[in-house]
Amino acid sequence: MSDEVTAAILTTHILDLARGGRRVDGRGLDEYRAVSVEPGYVATADGSALVRIGATAALCGIKLEPGKPFPDTPNAGVLTTNAELIPLSSPTFEPGPPHPRAIEVSRVVDRAIRAAETIDLTRLCVTPAEKCWTCFVDVHVLDHDGNLIDAALLAALGALTHATLPAKRFAIAESDTPLEVNHYPVECTFVRLGDVIVTDPTFDEERACQGRLTVATDELGNIVAMQKGLIGAFSPDDVRDVVERALRHGEKLRAAARAG
């Protein structure tokens, strides 16, 4: 009960502040938290990156293994994206089968990677209909202070950008080669707090919010994926405003993932 009471008080406080154009952590309404990307964090993975957005931390590890193409795409490799919201990272996460919110993060990240054609899957085909590379993108959220979708995709992109095809290990080629990355999608998430829409929400802001909107953009200025989530609504003009902001913040996020 005390948890519920503090949450309710904090929510009121967050909404009061937002009305005056302010946030609990002192950020501007359209200000993203400090972002860092550390590629190569896990030596056993074929590509990895640890991402921090403020206090939120997500780690992505890529594994590339030989597999078999799907029958309906005989000339393409296989890409699988999964996000784990492990109980280590938040008191609100429980052990057990994936919660719908974990499935949502996985699918929204997967959608952005796929729609942006981040990786040319036909390049992962070794022998049509018989042998291809399977690319497993696994993201573990380590510390949950909000905005997991942005953190998960950024970690995935950071890991993909610095991944190696272990062709030698699996006797597919003489030597290992870098995984080719063609496009750089990043996601930018916003929440509504009363009448204002803030960028890069914290955990408390997500709990206080009236609707969440995520926009994925690529380096060419395309919008490649969107997801409205949580309880709340956005007008068409809100969406247009958020898209402009996502394109702007996307530049910086992309630069962070590529540089590492």
Which residues make up the interface to another protein (CB under 8 A)? 69, 72-76, 98, 100-101, 103-104, 106-107, 111, 114-115, 117, 121-122, 125, 211, 213, 218, 221-236, 238-240, 243-244, 247
Comparison of 163 and 226: residue with beta carbon closer to another protein: 226
Residue from 105, 104, 102 nearest 94 by CA: 102
For residue 43, the minimal CB distance to another protein (Å) is 30
Residue pair 105/85 in contact (Cβ under 8 Å)? The answer is yes
Count of alpha carbons within 13 angstroms of residue 212, beta-carbon side? 25
d(CA 153, CA 161): 12
Comparison of 10 and 115: residue with beta carbon closer to another protein: 115
d(CA 182, CA 163): 13
Torsion, Cα of 158, 161, 167, 169 (10° steps): -30
Comparison of 45 and 215: residue with beta carbon closer to another protein: 215
Residue type, 118: T
For residue 221, the minimal CB distance to another protein (Å) is 7
For residue 234, the minimal CB distance to another protein (Å) is 5
For residue 220, the minimal CB distance to another protein (Å) is 9
For residue 46, the minimal CB distance to another protein (Å) is 21
Residue pair 257/157 in contact (Cβ under 8 Å)? The answer is yes
Comparison of 5 and 43: residue with beta carbon closer to another protein: 5
